Homo-oligomer: A and B are copies of this chain.
Amino acid sequence: MTTPTSHPFYLDCDTGIDDALALAYLLASPQADVRGIGTVSGNVSAAVGARNTLDLLQLAGHAHIPVALGAHDPLVGSFHGGAPHVHGTNGIGEVSLEAADAELVPGTAAEMLVRLAHEHPGQLRILAVGPLTNIAEALRLDPELPRLVQDITIMGGAAFAPGNITAVAEANIANDPEAAAEVLAADWDVTLVPLDVTMSNVLEESHRQELLAARHPVPQALGDMLGYYFRFYESQFGRACSAMHDPLAAALAVGGVSAAVAPVVTVDVDTTDGPGRGQTICDLRGLYMDYPEQPGARCRVVLELDGDFAPHLVEVLQSFPESTTAAVAVGAAVA
């Protein structure tokens, strides 16, 4: 057995329960070497997301990974206040983590991304699981970014699936449609992980119990957070379970799971003020002919997975070593 090649990763997130799962997945994956993390307002404010990220990194024994504060407001308008009904008021399901000793690094998330891209030319991989404000700002800071970056994987949008903020818009894209339009129009290879796959690959209570029974405090804390998340998703699915938005994007980015159906198509973002605002308009008219090639298209839209994601996710998260450096104090859920 060969050791998988490790790639430098920049993670952009709005931590968030499923962001926490994505972060933990990356940290537990030998294919990913997380070199920097930027936060953005979405599930919570960029500042709260940064605090959660630092605390999680310390719990995981990775307090050395730099975290930069990103955009508080989208390119147009202002931050709407987050989704406490989904993620809790603290963003991580009212679970209390020990406060990290580490501080945020100086500079913005966009500046960190540009710097990392120059440090790893042609190698850096981006995983963006929040609104795309920081990525758009980085593109404005350095229009050469697409040439420097290997690829970008985005959790966001809805292709055939319904939206989760409006009938057609998904939260990450709808929270900053103008940024998403700029990012999807840039000249790089994008993998879009939309609700089509994240709502059809669900974590059940049995999986959550496996996380709670793990020896490492990170999967234990994630299992705790998922209790809150499950209660929200009960209103969507009619049972205690949850969608797996951000960790699925992480797993696709590192190759832990692969796509069975993922046509490369043109994608427009609706930036009007009409009823479609925030929709990712994916040109899937090739459906009836197994998606013939679309000249000039650069966006790979993941529509179906190859295999079952939840057992894989649990297995990876359980693989956190019994670390002596990791903090072991995990507060009980208070929700």
Contacts and interface: CB of A to CB of B under 8 A. Distances in A.
15 contacts: A160-B160, A160-B161, A162-B285, A162-B287, A163-B285, A164-B285, A166-B281, A167-B268, A167-B284, A168-B281, A237-B288, A238-B289, A272-B272, A274-B276, A276-B279
Q: Is the interface of A mostly helix, strand, loop or mixed?
A: loop
A276 B270 contact: yes
Contacts of A281: 166-168, 275-276
Contacts of A168: 276, 279, 281
Interface in A284-318: 284-285, 287-289
Interface string A132-170: 000000000000000000000000000011111011100
A273 B272 contact: yes
Contacts of A284: 162, 167
Interface in A154-198: 160-164, 166-168
Nearest to A268: B275
Nearest to A265: B167
A328 interface: no
Interface in A221-258: 236-238
A272 B279 CA distance: 13
A283 B237 contact: no
Nearest to A163: B285
